[in-house]
Amino acid sequence: MVVSGGESESQAGPGWGFQSGAKITIERLGKVFDSRNGRVEALRDVSLVIPNGQFCCVVGPSGCGKTTLLRILAGLDEHTSGRLELAHHDQAKPLNSMVFQEQSIFPWMTVDDNVAYGLKMRGVAGKQCREVVDYYVEKVGLTAFRRAYPHQLSGGMKQRVSVARAFANDPEILLMDEPFAALDEQNKALLQEELLKIWEESKKTVVFITHSIDEAVILGDRVLVMTAHPGTMKADMEVKFPRPRHVYELKASPAFGELVYNVWSQLRDEVLRAKQEEQVQGGAP
Amino acid sequence: MSQGSITIEQAATIPRVHVRSGVGENGRARVSRDTAEKVIALLAPVLLLALWELLVRVRLLDARFFPAPLSIPGTFYNLAFVVPWQGALPNHVLTSLSRAAVGFAIGAIPAICIGIVMGLIPLVRAALQPIIGALFPIPKVAILPLLMLIFGLGEQSKWAIIAIGVFFQVLIATAAGVANIERIYLDVGRNYGASRLATYRTIALPGALPMIFAGIRLGWGVALLLLVTAEMVSAKSGLGYLIWQSWQTFSVEEMYVGLVTVAGIGIVSFWLLDALESWLLPWKARS
């Protein structure tokens, strides 16, 4: 196991063994927005290159702008400075699809209709749409619930629908914003395994935001650590565990614990700093 | 010491055992209480009517204002089947229902469309909100004379007043329903490439439908109210006319037939709305 990168805050190190170049290039990206309490700088000078096909996890203290970064990548928010480049290789596919943190599947649609949403929005209909939907509904183990509405599903099942919806849309980049944060430990492990299995079939470029170091190390080819507010890149670590990976086997290995510890030692100062800032803000009138 | 007796020390440590047995799978106690409630709910109005009948018979109630309940079915039969069609109850009911339905449709359909646009586009909302805020509180009955001036004494003025009353109720509910849709659903729509029209169809409309239904319910109540009022003022048919006519000819039994019919229409139509709602909104969790 190799931990590379260390303090490097900018470019991806050379020798990422992935196909055909950069998928996402971010240069000195900044985001400032006006809130009631004045200007807030969410992101500062974020620079990053994510190669095609990489599973890239981003960890950081809460409130560090991880979600903002992801929303900018998704085109849901706009950055205020710097440059962002997304390579769209196959124009027939959508560029990105997002799996949101909170409950985001439509309560008024059945499981099937939710999974088919992206396809229908880009005009894929009929048999082709149905086949893709069948495939992913089965992949996430919801075949028995395909005509159920979300209020009949558990939290874990809802997130499965959300993941299936994103994969069914077949985007070039998957953006995942703490998709399993609200789940209990066992469900989380199950969904992580399922995600790994589905991802390993397609090898899409993934940007996965999480506050769980374990999760980042289990899933990612690479773990990026962000600083506390305003968010910027602090450390960049390669995760070289072989694939296919299995959650609990991986967790049992000493190398896993070592890497988790390394990530934590990068993150600890930032978490403490975030906490201090919170207290200062909380203390102010 | 014999086997049955226990010492004081032993008695102090013997726990008291609380035994609670289950109520059984059907929860029998609960079922019988439910049945009792249903029986009482049915019995209470019957008893009240019986009391009324009794009070009239012993002349404690004035039959001129409160005719004995048992005298109503005869009048009802007479009005429904004996008198010529022009003045018959079915004719009044059909006329009233068609007025309410047409007025309701004219009011509700544009209200839903405008409400969705208002809910989604802040600029449109900013433009329309103050106008609606100023017009909504005007009691709709107050503009009935104006409407009769504009549309004449025919059907149009009735459609107009009902439509206006319904319009505001449904518009306000729809706009609020759309504006309160969780932002995340609109983000999903954007992220998955939904066009503006698709956003209306797949997110705004279904997301606001529960609120729209609340508005439709209120709107239908307003429609019935304005219907009867308008028919009392200027009509030669309809339930409002029937009630008003009975006052002028002092035929109290006929008036009661009109009242009971209006009440019946109200009850049945709200049942139908309930049924329509659970058919259109299968995704709503119901308790």
Please identify every stretch of chain B with a pLDDT value under 70, giving residue numbers as ranges. 1-12, 23-31, 286-287
The pLDDT of residue B10 is 65
The pLDDT assigned to B6 comes to 61
Taking 60 as the threshold, does the pLDDT of residue A138 lie above it? yes
Structure confidence at residue B11 (pLDDT): 63
Rounded Cα distance, B121 and B129, in Å: 12
Q: What is the pLDDT of residues A197-222, one digit of tens each?
A: 989 988 899 999 998 999 999 999 99
Per-residue pLDDT tens digits for A221-242: 999 999 888 888 888 999 989 8
Task: Kindly write down the DSSP assignment for every residue of B132-155, as one continuous string.
Answer: HHHHTTS-GGGGHHHHHHHH-SSH
- Please check whether residue A114 touches B, CB under 8 A: no
**CB-based contact, B284 to chain A, within 8 Å:** yes
Secondary structure letter of residue A140 according to DSSP? T
Q: What is the ipTM of this complex?
A: 0.84
Nearest CB among B184, B283, B285 relative to A100 is that of B184
Contact A52, A21 (CB under 8 A): yes
Q: Residue A174 corresponds to which tokens in the numbers above? A: 């998957």
Q: Which residues contact A87 (CB under 8 A, 6 or more apart)?
A: A21, A22, A23, A24, A25, A52
CB-based contact, B282 to chain A, within 8 Å: yes
- What does the alpha-carbon distance between residue A57 and residue A217 come to, in Å, rounded to a whole number? 8
Residue B219: what are its φ and ψ, rounded to 5°?
-60, -40
A contacts of B188 (beta carbons < 8 Å): 98, 100, 104, 106, 117
Q: Is the dihedral of CA A99, A105, A111, A114 positive or negative?
A: negative
Q: Give the separation between CA A246 and CA B37, rounded to whole angstroms.
A: 58
User: Of A103, A107, A169, which has the smallest distance from its Cβ to B283's Cβ?
Assistant: A107
Q: Any CB–CB contact under 8 A between B210 and chain A?
A: no
**Count of CB atoms within 10 A of residue A101's CB?**
20
Q: What is the pLDDT of residue A20?
A: 58
Render pLDDT for A15-52 as a digit per residue (tens, 0 to 9).
444 455 888 899 999 999 888 888 888 899 999 999 99
Nearest CA in chain B to A102: B184
Nearest CA in chain A to B185: A104
Q: Looking at the partner chain, which of B188, B189, B207 has a beta carbon nearest the beta carbon of A108?
A: B207
Q: What pTM does this model have?
A: 0.77
Residue B201: list chain A partners with CB under 8 A: none
Give the lowest-confidence range in A1-5, A168-172, A226-230, B99-103. A1-5
Dihedral sign of CA atoms A187, A193, A196, A198 in order: negative
User: A162 in contact with B at a CB cutoff of 8 Å?
Assistant: no
d(CA B95, CA B242): 11
| Contact yes or no for A10/A47 (Cβ under 8 A) | yes
Segment B82-92, tens digit of pLDDT = 888 888 899 99
The answer to whether residues A36 and A77 touch, using CB atoms and an 8 Å cutoff, is no
Q: How confident is the model at residue A169 (pLDDT cuts 50, 70, 90)?
A: very high
pLDDT > 60? residue A134: yes
Say if the Cβ atoms of A149 and B283 lie within 8 Å: yes
Digit-coded pLDDT (tens) for B233-282: 888 899 999 999 998 988 888 999 999 999 999 999 999 999 999 998 98
Task: Give the pLDDT of residue A105.
Answer: 94
Mean of per-residue pLDDT scores for chain A: 86
B196 touches chain A (CB under 8 A): no
The pLDDT of A169-183, averaged and rounded, is: 92
From the list A26, A24, A175, the residue with the least C-alpha distance to A87 is A24
Measured between CB atoms, which of A97, A104, A117 is closest to B184? A104
A2 Rama sector, left if φ>0, alpha if ψ -120 to 50, beta otherwise: beta
Using an 8 Å Cβ cutoff, are A41 and A31 in contact?
yes
Q: What is the pLDDT of residue B63?
A: 84
Residue B17: per-residue pLDDT: 82
B190 has a chain A CB within 8 A of its CB = yes
pLDDT of res. A162: 94
- CB B283 to CB A102 under 8 A? no
pLDDT in the model for residue A270: 85
Local confidence band at A89 (pLDDT 50, 70, 90 cut-offs)? confident
Question: What is the token pair recorded at A284?
Answer: 């102010």
**Which residues in chain B touch residue A150, judged by CB atoms under 8 angstroms apart?**
283
Q: Using CB atoms, which residue from A74, A76, A121 is nearest to B194?
A: A121
Asked whether the beta carbons of residue A97 and residue B209 sit closer than 8 angstroms, the reply is: no
Q: Measured between CB atoms, does A76 come within 8 Å of chain B?
A: yes
The per-residue pLDDT for A225 is 92
pLDDT band per the 50, 70, 90 thresholds, residue A9: very low
A76, A96, A108 member nearest B283 (Cβ) = A108
At residue B31, the pLDDT reads: 67
Q: What is the CA radius of gyration of chain B?
A: 29
